[in-house]
Amino acid sequence: MTGTVLVTGGAGYIGSHACKALRAAGYTPVTYDNLSTGWEEAVKFGPFEKGDLLDRDRLDAVFASHRPAAVMHFAAFSQVGESMKEPGKYWRNNVLGSLALVEAAVAAECRNFVFSSTCATYGDQDNVVLDENTVQMPINSYGASKRAVENILENFGQSHGLNHVIFRYFNVAGGDPEAEVGEFHQPETHLIPLMLDAISGKRDALTIFGTDYDTPDGTCIRDYVHVCDLVDAHVLGLKWLEDGKGSRVFNLGTGKGFSVREVIDHSRAVTNMDVPYVEGDRRPGDCMKLVSGSERAITELGWSPARSNLAQMIGDAWRWHRTGHYHK
């Protein structure tokens, strides 16, 4: 079954890649985005409806005019550091905005809902492989806001039959191999794009945030997943809901962790260029190690994170870095 999918945050990094994947799978992705952090130029694969999650009238009008069969909800603020400085911003947009969206979906009888959550809901559980049954103990407001939305979905599932798939992302990286869309945040805080900017001289040297962690080389370890693999999982999640398989939580990671220094080494190999870096202090709010237990998505959804190796993620990001970018 194919149909229309309302994609909140469709003008953002992950949402725009999801729209491309949905289009390729025969769906019509309708982007709903207020452009606070997204780019109108990234809306290439279906209609665009500018709007805010907190604007319930606008949401109702968009549900009425497009009659989506499902929602994919990407729109959110996602910077851990900022969430600690401005928790209200995160609770208002991420939690109250999601509540308005969920209520609008239920009112429009749209009961299939795919939600972007995060490994930040697990918190700092060093040296534990985090699977979906790991207790959630977020240590920052961003993670807490995402966990709250998970709770909302669970309650609306019980009370209103809202079928939902929750994806808890690990570190999303890379980009569309055709560079039609790519990663472009302002401000940029993520390791790989900052590193590519440093390599090409667009920015000063990369600062490694902390070299005294209890890891083999002293730097933080993350589980990187290719954005195209990640959005493929979303299409599988949508089919899961369409097949009536019920609500489910899935981690999206590979189960393999790489340190900051290992990412730097891979970047040097992929770009054949030096990576200027300096060693700095730890960044507040950073967990030492976040690695996914990723079996459930593979066995139950049939997900195959085939592109999620560092060489490919950095290579695709590098191609976008040299050919792409939205307006500055």
Query: Which residues contact ligand UFG (rule: CB under 6 A)?
Result: 78, 80, 118-120, 142, 171, 189-191, 194, 206-209, 220, 222, 260, 283, 286-287, 290
- Rounded to the nearest 10 degrees, how much is the dihedral formed by the CA atoms of 191, 194, 199, 203? -150
- The residue (of 156 and 167) whose beta carbon lies closer to ligand UFG is 167
DSSP string for 13-26:
HHHHHHHHHHHHTT
Q: How far is the CB of 96 from ligand UFG (least distance, A)?
A: 19
- The residue (of 55 and 309) whose beta carbon lies closer to ligand UFG is 309
Secondary structure (3-state) at 221 = strand
Residue 83 backbone dihedrals phi, psi, to 5 degrees: -65, -25
Q: How far is the CB of 25 from ligand UFG (least distance, A)?
A: 25
Q: How far is the CB of 315 from ligand UFG (least distance, A)?
A: 17
- The residue (of 127 and 158) whose beta carbon lies closer to ligand UFG is 127
Helix (H) or strand (E) holding 78: none
| CA-based nearest residue to 193, from 224, 149, 155 | 224
CB 319 within 8 A of CB 177: yes
Exactly one of 13, 90, 122, 142 is catalytic; name it. 142
Distance CA 127, CA 111 (A): 38
Q: Which residue is nearest to ligand UFG (CB)?
A: 220
- The reply to whether 32 belongs to the active site is no
Active site residues: 142
